Chain A
Amino acid sequence: MQLANFLSGLGWNHSLAWFVSQFVLILIFDVVLLVMIAYLLLADRKIWAAVQMRRGPNVVGPFGLLQTFADLFKFLFKEVIIPAGANKVIFMIAPLITVTLAFAGWAVVPMQEHWVVSDINVGILYLFAMSSLGVYGIIMAGWASNSKYPFLSALRAAAQMVSYEVSIGFVIITVLLFAGSLNLSDIVRAQAGTGILPHWYVFSILFPMLPIFFVSALAETNRPPFDLVEAESELVAGFFVEYSSTPFLLFFLGEYLSIVLMCAMCSILFLGGWLPPLNIAPFTWVPGIIWFLLKICFFFFMFAMVKAMVPRYRYDQLMRLGWKVFLPTSLLWVVLTAGWVLFVRPHL
């Protein structure tokens, strides 16, 4: 915004100044996001290694801090191989779609009060839409590869992600019934509370929705124990069997971006986004973005621990969990929350 004002001061057209400043803002945001992903990726591998009593990456740079960048350049310098039988255009578009959607979701995530690229009224729906579109990258990749394992993986992905979107949708409905808004910043502000204790939704009657949302997020991002899409023991590597070098890198990047986006969603919907844990002095001095990043890191740690500790689900169990356990529970909770908001909360 300040850049826009500065450029307008230089005699630029107002809308052009807005466009350029927004472009620069998005560029900076994405670069910061990429660096964050690079270190979260390293953290993921380190946590995983620690659970298995290994050292993890520790050769490139001090404590292996540059490992991700070494991997990045390895992927960039390798040759792109496109199978002869592949549908070339869709084969190359698929990773682009995955990574673009994963980046696009971040546009509405509020980092701090007024620190958001686009503060739209339907932010939560936008996030939901972007995460549900993520399945297209996988389906297109699986189909375009023209090979059996990727195709099976694409079919699995379609069924799995559509199933778990339903429960994610219902969990989101409970939260927005409570907050009375679809704007993410408003949802966070609604959790501010009045006294010392904040009114985070995880401490309200919405508390069972956090585990459901967390597990559905695992399934939606194809993380273990729900990584049936890329189950190595059955499907070699799933939908990206035929991908190499940069397209593979894009899939990898998109996957981690959407995982961290899900962590951010968990902390915005249930742990009060940028709000400090207690509304008293030493906590309120810390900038909101630090709290937000800490909450993201907490959820990312949980994601990593689940990956390290839980064995993979069988496909029928995955479907049973989604349709027979999460769907009825979250639907019931929508009814309960609506009743609470309408009849109980006004009298509290």
Chain B
Amino acid sequence: MFEAIAFYFFSAILIASAVMVIAARNPVHSVLFLILSFFNAAGLFVLLGAEFLAMILIVVYVGAVAVLFLFVVMMLDIDFAELKRGSLQYLPFGALVGLILVAELVMAGSVWVLKPAVVAAKASATPAGVTNTVALGRILYTDYVYYFQIAGLVLLVAMIGAIVLTLRSRPGVRRQVISVQNARTAAMAVDMHDLKPGEGA
């Protein structure tokens, strides 16, 4: 009974907040609603028994990605009323894209034929005897290890690309070099002079 209540609770909030992401007038509110919908999706994962995915969803998307998202959106000064003006003329195009996506989803859900082995393995978030973290690890690091590595490389390339794009070396900037500071001794820093009275340095 509680599972059903929890399911409807999470799903209702998930859908409502997903709608609010595009309906909210303030971009910061949109991001906060996005976070709320991530959170409820994680709740649905937990109900399915996929607790590892739920936690990873929260750690990666909510804990890191959405923070940076919020960080950027907070600093922008966007007038959304200005942006939304003339959105009506793009509406047919948007509706077309949406329709194509829905059609594809329906096709993927209905026309797709799965191998019998896959059908047997489907819908078992918690295989018998192992926790789903172990089960995921066993599949990810054996059968799909190359895909896993390729995904990692793609991320690495993206990271290096982002760094290269934003790296600039400005001349005349004094940087702190800790090793140089630590290597500095009294002999290097202090210069002793024996001054006579009335002569100065």
Interface residues, chain B, with chain A CB atoms under 8 Å away: 1-2, 28-29, 32, 35, 51-52, 54-56, 58-59, 62-64, 67-68, 70-71, 74-75, 131-133, 176, 178
For residue A120, CB closer than 8 A to chain B, the reply is: yes
Interface of A is mostly: helix
Complex Cα–Cα for A90 and B36 (A): 13
Interface residues on A, range: 20 to 34
Contact A90 B32 (CB under 8 A): yes
A159 CB, nearest partner CB in chain B, Å = 8
Contact B67 A139 (CB under 8 A): yes
Interface of B is mostly: helix
A60 CB, nearest partner CB in chain B, Å = 39
Contact A125 B55 (CB under 8 A): yes
Number of interchain pairs (Cβ within 8 Å) = 72
A19 touches which one: B2, B54, B55, B58 (CB < 8 A)? B2
B4 CB, nearest partner CB in chain A, Å = 11
Q: Mark A151-168, 1 if CB is under 8 A from B, else 0.
A: 100110011011001000
Contact A133 B176 (CB under 8 A): no
**Contact residues, A124-145 vs B (CB, 8 A):** 125-126, 128-129, 132-133, 135-136, 139-140, 143
Known pairs A121-B131, A121-B133, A316-B176; A162 contacts B67 (CB<8 A): yes
For residue A271, CB closer than 8 A to chain B, the reply is: no
B58 touches which one: A129, A182, A316, A317 (CB < 8 A)? A129
Contact A133 B133 (CB under 8 A): no
Contact A158 B70 (CB under 8 A): yes
Contact A122 B55 (CB under 8 A): yes
For residue A15, CB closer than 8 A to chain B, the reply is: yes
Complex Cα–Cα for A343 and B97 (A): 53
Contacting residues, chain A, for B58 (C-beta < 8 A): 129, 132-133
Complex Cα–Cα for A87 and B64 (A): 24
Contact B2 A129 (CB under 8 A): no
Known pairs A15-B2, A121-B131, A162-B68; A129 contacts B32 (CB<8 A): no
Contacting residues, chain A, for B56 (C-beta < 8 A): 125
Q: Which residue of B lies closest to A176 (CB)?
A: B133
Q: Which residue of B lies closest to A317 (CB)?
A: B176
Complex Cα–Cα for A316 and B55 (A): 31
Contacting residues, chain A, for B2 (C-beta < 8 A): 15, 19
Contacting residues, chain B, for A151 (C-beta < 8 A): 74
Contact A120 B59 (CB under 8 A): no
Contacting residues, chain B, for A140 (C-beta < 8 A): 32
Between B35, B52, B68, B71, the greatest number of chain A beta carbons within 10 A of the residue's beta carbon is seen for: B71
Contacting residues, chain A, for B1 (C-beta < 8 A): 15
Known pairs A125-B56, A139-B74, A317-B176; A182 contacts B133 (CB<8 A): yes
Contacting residues, chain B, for A182 (C-beta < 8 A): 52, 131, 133
Known pairs A129-B63, A143-B28, A165-B63; A155 contacts B55 (CB<8 A): no
Q: Which residue of A lies closest to B53 (CB)?
A: A122
A154 touches which one: B29, B62, B74, B131 (CB < 8 A)? B74
